[in-house]
Homo-oligomer: A and B are copies of this chain.
Amino acid sequence: MSNNTTVENIILGCLSFGPRSGYEIKKIINMSSSWFYNASYGSIYPILKKHEEKGLVSSEEVIDNGRYKRLYQMTDKGYKAFHAWMLQSPKLMTVKYEMAVKLMFFAKLAPEQRIQQIEEHIEQLRLFKQELEEIEPWAEHEGDSYQRLILDWGENLYDFLIQWFSQLLNELQKYDGDLPQKPKDGQQL
């Protein structure tokens, strides 16, 4: 069984496509997983070193167009650890969604401020969805059917979010930014 973290396994997974440098791994992540599981340089380089110490990867310095880089390659041991992780029961999704937190305290905002926050957020979601769509040509060219599948999932997810918040905006606008309180049990009559 693998007790590596998810990020450690993403890096192994990227190396399953062939030898890569830390910088190249970050590029793969940016173009594919970053929006559902990101990793920063501050994780990637130390993890590569740790992987090498554990014998999960090996490395060599190469000169590519007159520029040094350290290419990492997965070992058999590394592939076994990666594959073992692939078979484990997946961890539950975790989300950090600030807009949802704000919604929780929305009663503290003035009606027009509520509308403004939602409008701004819908704009953010639209921009992000556009960014996803710009990856599509890359996935068509570089990725396999599963990588294209994930992009499709992302676009569906953001469509769902845009639609949900647009509907909320409509409701808010209908009631001048003040959602009608469904009466509680004790308040009826």
Contacts and interface: CB of A to CB of B under 8 A. Distances in A.
Interface in A139-175: 140-141, 144-150, 153, 156-157, 160, 164, 168
| Copies of the protein in its oligomer | 2
A87 interface: yes
Interface in A1-31: 6, 9-10, 13, 16
Given A90-B121, A105-B86, A100 B182 contact: no
Given A156-B164, A160-B160, A182-B148, A104 B6 contact: no
User: Which 3 pairs from chain A and chain B are nearest by CB?
Assistant: A106-B146, A36-B100, A90-B99
A97 interface: yes
A126 interface: no
Contact of A33 (B6, B37, B83, B104): B104
B104 A150 contact: yes
A108 B108 CA distance: 50
B128 A92 contact: yes
A87 B117 CA distance: 7
A101 B146 contact: no
Interface residues of A, number: 63
A16 B105 contact: yes
A10 to B, nearest CB: 6
Identify which of A16, A32, A104, A160 gathers the most chain B CB atoms within 10 Å of its CB.
A104
Given A95-B95, A96-B94, A109-B86, A104 B146 contact: yes
A35 interface: yes
Contacts of A128: 92
Contact of A6 (B13, B96, B164): B96
B35 A108 contact: no
Contacts of A185: 141
Interface in A79-132: 82-83, 86-87, 89-109, 113, 117, 120-121, 124, 128
